[in-house]
Amino acid sequence: MLESDLILVINPGSTSTKIALFEDDRQRFSQSIDHSEKDLLPFHQISDQHGFRKDHIEATLRENAVSLQSIDAVVGRGGLLHPIPSGAYLVNTRMVEDLGNAAWGEHASNLGGLIAYDIAKEMGIPAFIVDPVVVDEMEPVARFSGIPEIERRSIFHALNQKAMARKAADDLGKAYTEVNLIVVHMGGGISVGAHQKGRVVDVNNALNGEGPFTPERAGGLPAAQLVDLCFSGQYTKDALKKHLVGRGGMVAYLGTNDMRKVESQVHNGDEKVTLLYRAMAYQVAKEIGIYATVLKGSVDAIVLTGGLACDKGFIEWITGYVQWIARVMVYPGEEEMAALALGALRVLRGKEKAKIYT
């Protein structure tokens, strides 16, 4: 009988750090460590926070009687790196350099690999990342934007999309590599991916402005009107970027990204809010239609996941538009911590070979 593997999972967000301890595929402990704006104010760059957050992680583990010496591997949420295929990657010095210098962009998830590497190095154990947001399996034909200066990029919720795609395939009684799925992750950002026999052959750039508007992102916009807004004098470059990502979507219209409040207003009969919420569902459904075309209509299932999948009314609106395409399967919430642990476990058990970032 195989010995159990203890895996420490680290998932940094903008104002919190989620940690969990898994014994094989079973979660033994989890906690979200909150960081106030005051705590983070002294740090000019996100990467500067990694020592501060590492100290908090270690203190939290001590408080819960978790010894670092007992851990067999550390896995962190993968950050912004150059485009790479799906899989589990060993965190090496090249990756640490790119994450620390924000060579491909700044994001809180960059801290996952940095902290995992520091802890693992001290303990003499491996550190991994799994399916970071820059997983790129897009077909060459999908990369063209319409002007040579801009190439379409694959940036999406790869970790949760891949995990839920595997779960849906299993529920269909098939392997992930045997099915065609349209997977929709719906949270603060919304990504819609065409999964063709285990590869995401096309997906909207859920970070930098494609696809439906979301609780806090503007999504795709009419290009000429956006150019006019850029030169209107109303916004600086940085302010306009925040208006598109972070303060766009529902935040721009309603001043909130708390979809529980929005759902409550809909249930209370607010017609303006209901129309806006339906419009977001409408845009998600349109995007699903686009990716059904990518798969040439051969779709085994449409998979809806993420926080917004908890809202039955929102799901019903989307389903009403797309159920003619394929069966709709709903997996509310996200299982990113488990997905990270399972990715590392596949390597530890020899079911998958860790990839090397170069």
**What long-range pairs does 332-336 form, CB within 8 A, spacing at least 24?**
332/305, 332/306, 332/307, 333/305, 333/306, 333/307, 333/309, 334/157, 334/160, 334/185, 334/187, 334/305, 334/306, 334/307, 335/160, 335/163, 335/164, 336/11, 336/77, 336/159, 336/160, 336/163
Residue 76 host element (H or E): strand 73-77
**Tokens at 284, concatenated:** 């998600």
Measured from the Cβ of residue 201, the count of other Cβ atoms closer than 10 Å reads 19
Q: Which of 137, 106, 38 is nearest to 245 (CA)?
A: 106
When the pLDDT of each residue in the chain is averaged and rounded to a whole number, the result is 94
Determine the residue type at 101: N
**CA 329 – CA 155 distance, rounded (Å):** 23
Q: Most distant CA pair in the chain: distance in Å? A: 68
Query: Which 3 state secondary structure label does DSSP give 252?
Result: helix
- What does pTM read for this prediction? 0.89
Residue 26 host element (H or E): strand 26-34
Domains and their CATH numbers in the chain: 6-134+337-356 (3.30.420.40), 157-326 (3.30.420.40)
pLDDT at 2: 62
Q: What is the DSSP string of 167-197?
A: HHHHHTTS-GGG-EEEEEEESSSEEEEEEET
β-pair type (127-130, 73-77): parallel
pLDDT at 13: 84
Q: What is the 3-state secondary structure (H, E, C) of 152-167?
A: CCCCCCHHHHHHHHHH
**What are the per-10-residue average pLDDT scores of the chain (358 residues)?**
86 89 94 88 90 95 92 93 94 96 90 96 96 94 96 93 96 97 95 98 91 95 95 95 92 92 94 97 98 98 96 97 98 91 95 94
Q: Which of 177, 188, 105, 96 is nearest to 137 (CA)?
A: 177
Query: Which 3 state secondary structure label does DSSP give 78?
Result: coil
Within 78-125, strands assigned E span 88-90
pLDDT at 208: 83
Q: Which of 156, 183, 189 is nearest to 307 (CA)?
A: 189
pLDDT at 3: 79
